Structure formats: structure tokens, C-alpha cells
Amino acid sequence: MQLQYFGLSSFKITTKEATLITDPFHKDSGLLPPRGGTDILVLAEKNKKLYSAVSGISGERFDVTDPGEYDIKGVTVTGIPLKQENRYITVFLIESEDIRILNLTHIKEFNMKEDEVEALGDIDILIVPVGGNTVLSASQAAKVVNEIEPKIVIPSHYKMKDLILDLDSLEKFIKEMGGKKEDMEKLSIKKKELQEEGTKVVVLEPLR
């Protein structure tokens, strides 16, 4: 499995059988919207323009835009609605090749109860927004990491070049996590390569 980062809250996940793209962002963000073909398109808020710029996404794709469980080309996607102030945002559990990814999209509040977190099972990779303001703050994100205890955490939704949204820098989250990180252009991982103990912070270089 391979994970790449477009920026903001948009990722490309490539498995042996399928390609999946999450939350392609609009040009109103200041960033060039993601482009490319995919088999599965996952949208946390299908009616929010900022996170659903689908015009650059091609291919005969299956769109996952609502809560529920979906099985497509060897990938299981489970959408879980989380109440956020006056609306719901869907977070997604993505499973393929025996690897389990929890994508917390662009939530501002992580309000899963303890038994709901336990029901998720072991999470190998956690994608978590860390930029504050409209999403989780660095300290809130670090608390969520400690609660979920993934093998790998990938921060998203933070200040970056050309982005005009008001977000905090990545450094705040790295500091909250103890200051250690690994920078990568892409994460290529197999189940057997996941570390047994502790959480590794992986920072992905945004695709341009």
C-alpha cells in the first residue's frame, strides 16, 4: 500500500487493486486542486465546496459520500458520522491489504465515546488534522493520537505554501508529539513492516 498527500485534507491511497482519493480541495484554498484518476472517491462533506472539487478527478469511480460500509475492489470503506457543532462530518475507516487507516478528515472536535473508539479496533495509520481554527488544534490532535494509539500518524490540514486558510504550522503538532518525525515523499508500507510498539510520526511532502 502507498499513501501520498495532495495537501490540506486530500490523500491518494494506492493498493494492489484500487486507487482511492479523499476530499479533493477547491482552488479557493489557494492550492492547485488535485487531479488524476481514481477508482474510489471519498468525501467527508459532499456539500462543502472547499473539500469536494471533483472536476479534476477522472476515471470510472465509485463515490463514497455518506456513512455506511462499502466494499470496492478489495477496499472496505466505513463512513462514521461525527457531530460537529451544527452539522455532521464523516470520518472514514479504510481497510485493505490487512492495513487499517482511520482518516479524521477535517473535524474540529473528536467526540467518539471510549466504547466507540474500542469498537474501531486496532488502527495502523491515523490521518489527523492538526492546524487549529476550523479543525483540531495541535494539542487536541495529540490527545486523539494518544487515545487511538496508531502505529503511524500522518498529520494533515496545516499551514503550507500558497494555502490562504488560517491554519497553524505543522511544527506545533510535532512539538506536541515529542519533536520526532520522518519526512517522506510517499509512504509505502506492508502490514509486516508496521512497528510493534509506539507511534511514528510521518510527514508527507505534498504532491505538486
Which superfamily does 2-204 belong to? Ribonuclease Z/Hydroxyacylglutathione hydrolase-like (3.60.15.10)
Q: How far apart are CA 29 and CA 145, in angstroms?
A: 26
Cβ atoms within 10 Å of 146's Cβ, excluding its own: 11
User: Any residues with CB less than 8 A from the CB of 178 and at least 6 apart, and which?
Assistant: none
pLDDT tens per residue, range 84-116: 988 999 999 999 999 999 999 999 999 999 999
> Domain locations in the chain?
2-204
pLDDT tens per residue, range 13-60: 999 999 999 999 999 999 999 999 999 999 999 999 999 999 999 989
pLDDT band at 66 (very low <50, low <70, confident <90, very high): very high
